[in-house]
Amino acid sequence: RPRIGVLALQGDVREHLTALRSVGADAIPVRRESELADLDGLVIPGGESTTIVKLAQHFDLLEPLRKRISDGLPTYGSCAGMILLADRIVGGAVDQETFGGIDMTVRRNAFGRQIESFEEPVNVEGVAGGPVTAVFIRAPWVEDVGGGAEVLARVTSGPAAGRVVGIRQGHLLATSFHPELTGDARVHGYFVDMVRNVLGKSAEVPTTKSED
Ligand code: GLN
């Protein structure tokens, strides 16, 4: 069973643990640097991205997290987690830090006052079985997608139609919305498959050089 940590500094940690367990992962809350060492994957929950960064700094987790993420640890961020995986953010304090990793610009609180929270069916590329119910809560959107990133989901209706709300770059996945709040764990299943893929690949690497 893949061992997946949920960054447990602030936010909806418990819901992610439940969703991950329902798709066959060993899910554990993570608060210390030492707990990062033996993870196969990491989830950064929704919450308040500024608070999560401040707590990560306080617990000396910011640099270790950046390093693990850039070294290839499969990581999924929902909502605030998406903001934290962005290389660039707009709509927040100018000096707001992120963990980074996905070549994108994310706008915080992008949907504006009138539609702070809403839900909508959204098709997610690679997630079979029809659209997922996407729950948006003071959600960000992806304003600009860099070369290495692949768009997985867009808003389909309303004034924000076409906005990017799901994205993947290699071992990194992010959604503007909160699948952990719906009881539908298909997005978590997609992420756990990503983790299994990485585990499968590292198992294939030969320990000794074969003759060729
Ligand atoms: N608005 C929050 C932020 O900027 C994100 C909201 C959420 O995670 N539901 O961090």
This prediction has a pTM of 0.94
Question: Quick one: what percent of the chain has pLDDT higher than 90?
Answer: 86
Is 196 annotated to bind ligand?
A: no
Q: Which amino acid is located at 209 in the chain?
A: K
Range in 76-85, 111-120, 174-183 the model is least confident about: 111-120
Q: Which amino acid is located at 44 in the chain?
A: I
What is the pLDDT, as a whole number, of residue 100? 97
In the structure, what pLDDT confidence band is assigned to residue 83 with cuts at 50, 70 and 90? very high
Q: Write the burial class of residue 119 (CB in 10 Å: 0-12 exposed, 13-18 middle, 19+ buried).
A: middle
pLDDT in tens, 31-69: 999 999 999 999 999 999 999 999 999 999 999 999 999
3-204: CATH topology is: Rossmann fold (3.40.50)
Is 137 annotated to bind ligand?
A: yes
Check pocket membership of 47 for ligand 1, CB cut-off 6 A: yes
Contact 82, 106 (CB under 8 A): yes
Give the whole-angstrom CA distance, residue 19 versus residue 10: 17
Contact 113, 79 (CB under 8 A): no
Please tell me which residue in 79, 120, 171, 188 is annotated as part of the active site.
79
Q: Is 16 a catalytic residue?
A: no
In the structure, what pLDDT confidence band is assigned to residue 208 with cuts at 50, 70 and 90? low
Test site for ligand 1: of 78, 108, 118, 180, most ligand atoms within 8 A of the Cβ: 108
Test site for ligand 1: of 50, 79, 97, most ligand atoms within 8 A of the Cβ: 79
Angle at 111 between CA 42 and CA 186, to 5 degrees: 40
Instruction: Name the residue at shortest CA distance from atom 5 of ligand 1.
Output: 80
Residue ranges of the alpha helices (H) in the chain?
A: 13-22, 49-58, 62-70, 80-85, 186-204
Q: Which atom of ligand 1 is nearest to the CA of 51?
A: 10
Greatest pairwise CA separation for the chain in angstroms:
65
Q: Which atom of ligand 1 is nearest to the CA of 83?
A: 10
Query: 3-state DSSP helix/strand/coil percent for the chain, to nearest 5?
Result: 30, 30, 40
Torsion of CA 57, 61, 65, 66, to 10 degrees: 40
Q: What is the ipTM of this complex?
A: 0.95
